[in-house]
Structure 1
Amino acid sequence: MSLHKSKDPYADRCPIRDVLERLGDRWSMLVLFTLEEGGTLRFSVLKSQIADISQRMLAQTLRRLEQDGLVSRTVYATVPPRVDYALTELGASFLKPMHGLLDWAKAHHQDVHAARRAYTAPEAIEAR
């Protein structure tokens, strides 16, 4: 069962929509980069390192990333149960090209903010 269904029945045939739509959400990249940097992490550690994510959203994001094969989940039969999350080979391979995007975002973050501040919406121009 898919956790995300597109209204377009052909969306799963398009690699851009099928893969990047899922991974381009607000949290997936942050979770993946956090796992890359930290190695195998428990849920609580992930949550503390991505401070503004809710527990529910982190659980949903991890579930989707596991479903897509980018993250592995290992449950240990201890009391209380211990669950570890780690990048899979597929997840690590996805992040290789994403480092270029991350570098670009870091280098141009201020430029994007400046453009946003300078932008006047067409509706505001017409209202003048």
Structure 2
Amino acid sequence: MNPVFSPRFTVRRIARRLALAGVIGACTVASISTASAQDTAGAVFGKAPLGYSVAVRSDATGAGRTVKVDASGRYSAHALPTGTYTVTLKQSGQDVAKHLNVPVIAGRGVEVDFNCSEIRCDEVAKMP
């Protein structure tokens, strides 16, 4: 009997092919990158006065969030869809200052600071 067609040889050949297919499949799965918030979204962060909050709103959709300034005088709004945003400093729900047309780019953060020496943090902004 020809050893190429023996049942034992055939089983080994099939086993090797299955093992090779498994290794190739594992490598393929390992190389696929999954989408994460960092790949499809950006962030806005910066400095602001203690006791204030910062609202980050999309100019296109109006969606966004409001975050509080932490004890170190920093704020951060992560996982924002890409687009142009208005970043507003608020005190007791009232607008104090705004940064317009802030670009949020996927995978990046943009720093937007509110410096009380440059703006009047003790006054509520007059909105038209």
**Structure with more strand by fraction:** 2
Give TM-score, length-normalised by structure 2: 0.21
Larger Rg: 2
Give TM-score, length-normalised by structure 1: 0.21
- Which of the pair has the greater relative contact order for Cα pairs under 8 Å at 6+ separation? 2
